[in-house]
Amino acid sequence: MDIAQLHFLVAEGDQVQRHALADILVHVGVGRITQAPDGHTALRHFSAGITPAVDIAIIDLALPGMDALELIRRLGEAKSRAGVIVVGAQTNAVLFSVETMADAYGVNVLGAIGKPVIGSRLVALINNHLQPGEARGAHAQAPQLSFAEVGQGLQAREFDPFFQPKIELETGQVKGLEMFARWRHPLHGVLGPASFMQALEDNRRVDFLDWTMIEKSVAACRTLHDQGVPISVSINVDQSTLAHPQFMEQISACLERHRIMADYITFEMTESAVLSTDPHFLERLLRLRMKGFGLAIDDYGTGRSNLQLLARIPFSELKIDRSFVDGASKRAAIGMVLRSCLSLARSLDRKSVAVGVETKQDWDFLQGLGCTYAQGYYIAKPMPVEDFPGWLSDWQHFF
């Protein structure tokens, strides 16, 4: 959408600064600007029936009357879809915490800026609204299928692994594939985990899906190797699957059937799954690493792990959650957290994988930070194994 078509609200208690913010907006081509000297006035402009609706609100933290924190909470409760930019004379740490709070309330926070506000920085945050990432697009509601239906689909071998490339940022080379479970449903088409994972988890049978995906992913790895593409594959597994007493025996037999070395297989577990001090689970991870398998901690940043705990886990890759990657180049506070995650991976001598790379800006930003690998829609969406060789040829030609 053109910036001239957007309705901006400037909520700032100081008249001089309020006018200065409005002048910046006029300078960049904004056509409609509403000013509010306090929080109560600002909130009234979000009331039902007010037209045109506010598209972007610039809110000063030191608003008189209803302060900015309460205003943000009220916007979250009202499920407002307006983009919010927070400005304030506070430290970066406070501004980052305000962003975090706004996200938790469900507010579409575009970012926060310290005072004095610099026009170029404000415009960059406005662009977060004008050019949202692909992942933020609307999706149709996924059908929720029962455990019995999921079981029938598994028995009919309707579940297949799709693969998303993992790229080495320094060279642009494809270094691996991550598996994503997909259900080729005869009526609903290709379905993602939202349609079937809950039923499996509720019945504690995620292992049904895990073993189907392990077997088919290792088979796909062999198919690619036979086509002259000796690439590694990462497979998401549930902690309960890894903890099964026969896991080591079964995975060894699987690799033997398909003539694949352990070095080509990485198992991915969520951060919350490895928050365990169970010695039996740690022993299983150690055995996997000693046999040559890779271990990756997925969704890093969403759990409660600390450096001491992570140092004990013999993982080879730290996969940084998309919430710290998407848009990090535009939001300084999120970028700061991303830098911290990458620094942690380096300090533990582990590879870092940034998940959710959606734009060239994200790609360039990660390159500048020294991240090892990247994956996301900017590179490619998950695809069937038969589509990968053609995609790889196009990618290699591009680079």
Encode pLDDT of 331-388 as tens digits.
666 777 788 889 888 888 899 999 999 888 889 889 889 899 999 999 999 999 999 9
- Supply the mean pLDDT for the chain: 88
Residue 214 domain-assigned?
A: yes
- Could you tell me if 205 and 322 lie in one domain? yes
Residue 137 domain-assigned?
A: no
At residue 302, the pLDDT reads 61
Q: Across residues 171-189, what is the average pLDDT?
A: 95
Residue 185 domain-assigned?
A: yes
Confidence of residue 36 (pLDDT cuts 50, 70, 90): very high
- Could you tell me if 66 and 167 lie in one domain? no
What CATH number did the domain enclosing 178 receive? 3.20.20.450
- Could you tell me if 112 and 154 lie in one domain? no
- Could you tell me if 124 and 154 lie in one domain? no
Residue ranges making up the domain that contains 225: 147-398
Residue 232 domain-assigned?
A: yes
Dig out the tokens for 350 from the structure: 């582990």
Residue 136 domain-assigned?
A: no
At residue 282, the pLDDT reads 82
- Could you tell me if 234 and 383 lie in one domain? yes
- Could you tell me if 95 and 152 lie in one domain? no
User: Residue 284 pLDDT > 90, yes or no?
Assistant: no
Confidence of residue 133 (pLDDT cuts 50, 70, 90): very low
374, with CB counted inside 10 A (0-12, 13-18, 19+), is: buried
Confidence of residue 40 (pLDDT cuts 50, 70, 90): very high
Q: Across residues 310-319, what is the average pLDDT?
A: 84
Last residue within a domain, chosen from 100, 131, 162: 131
Domain count for the chain, please give it.
Answer: 2
Last residue within a domain, chosen from 131, 159, 190: 131
| pTM, two decimal places | 0.71
At residue 137, the pLDDT reads 40
- Could you tell me if 154 and 126 lie in one domain? no
User: Residue 285 pLDDT > 70, yes or no?
Assistant: yes
At residue 136, the pLDDT reads 41
- Could you tell me if 155 and 266 lie in one domain? yes
Last residue within a domain, chosen from 98, 131, 164: 131
What CATH number did the domain enclosing 48 receive? 3.40.50.2300
The owner of tokens 């995650």 is: 341
Give the C-alpha separation, 68 to 261, whole Å. Answer: 57
At residue 351, the pLDDT reads 93
- Could you tell me if 167 and 91 lie in one domain? no
- Could you tell me if 231 and 288 lie in one domain? yes
At residue 139, the pLDDT reads 43
- Could you tell me if 106 and 161 lie in one domain? no
Residue 142 domain-assigned?
A: no
Give the pairing type, strands 294-300 and 265-270.
parallel
Tens digit of each residue's pLDDT (9 = 90 or more) over 209-257: 999 999 999 999 999 999 999 999 999 999 889 888 899 999 999 999 9
* Greatest mean pLDDT range, 119-133, 205-219, 276-290: 205-219
Residue 168 domain-assigned?
A: yes
- Could you tell me if 184 and 79 lie in one domain? no
Query: What's the Cα-to-Cα distance from 185 to each of 129, 201, 211, 310, 353, rounded to whole Å?
Result: 35, 20, 19, 39, 31
H or E element at residue 321: none
The answer to whether the CB of 178 falls within 8 A of the CB of 213 is no
Confidence of residue 301 (pLDDT cuts 50, 70, 90): low
At residue 328, the pLDDT reads 75
The owner of tokens 């920085």 is: 121
Residue 294 domain-assigned?
A: yes
% of the chain residues with pLDDT over 90:
58
Tens digit of each residue's pLDDT (9 = 90 or more) over 51-75: 788 999 999 999 999 999 999 999 9
Dig out the tokens for 190 from the structure: 């290709």
